[in-house]
Structure 1
Amino acid sequence: MLRTLAVIGLLAALPATALAQTAASGPQQQAESGKPPQRIRSVTITGNQACPKSSDPDAEIVVCARVGEPYRIPKELRDDKPIAAQNQSWVNRTAVADEAGRRAGGLPDTCSPVGSGGQTGCGKLRAEQFAAERAEARRQAEIIP
């Protein structure tokens, strides 16, 4: 007897749940109300894990980030170009001016034809140029899909 009453009660409530589903709910309702969510949950996922769904879309927003992807901007749209000289910090500008002065003065490790210690920096200069070329080649290879 109790079981039949429970079934009748559930069948009577069925149209009410169908009506509730047709009304605006979830993020759409929250966006229209203009109220901020009560909770923002940040989840770090790995591999092919799926982003968990929010249990209550009106009260919680779930933001997922993959371990290997620290940026939300896609790789294709990231700006990896070298920073222009006028936009660099004064420390970098001073380092460039200092290196130019060292080369002009023929100081040691400068690879300059002037001065007694100028020849010692030629190997160092070639190694730095080689490393810069390899880094640029790697950067260009990453850009090309």
Structure 2
Amino acid sequence: MLSTLLFAALIVAPAPAQDGGTQDGPPKRVRSILLYGDDKCPKAESPDEVVVCANAGESPYRIPKSLRNQPNEGAAAQAWTNRVETVEEFNRAGLPNSCSPVGIGGQTGCTRAAIRQWYQERVDAKAKAARTTAPAED
């Protein structure tokens, strides 16, 4: 009976540290280092120190590849048909289905304009996400 109790106490008791270190709490010093190119991670100066290294790319002075050569999203980069549609929509103020506070039929196109804008924002967001996740070439 006594051996069974002793065996159960050993199973329930927490296991001692495997490396036999004397440290009971967190490390006294933690160094975070960004490495560029082929830099090597430095060794810890003492047993109470932890060194954390992360590779940050080619050089600290270069723009990361994922951010290079982003396409222009301004008016000049839009297709000609999109620019024409924008001008025509602006000139339709006051006409039916134009979503304008001017004229007798201007309010009738507001819902359609809101749905069109929502759909276009979704398409633009998907295109932008595809451009940022695709690997950029030099």
Normalised by the size of structure 1, how large is the TM-score? 0.37
Task: Specify which structure has the higher proportion of helix.
Answer: 1
The one of the two structures with greater contact order (alpha-carbon pairs below 8 A, sep at least 6) is 2
Normalised by the size of structure 2, how large is the TM-score? 0.38
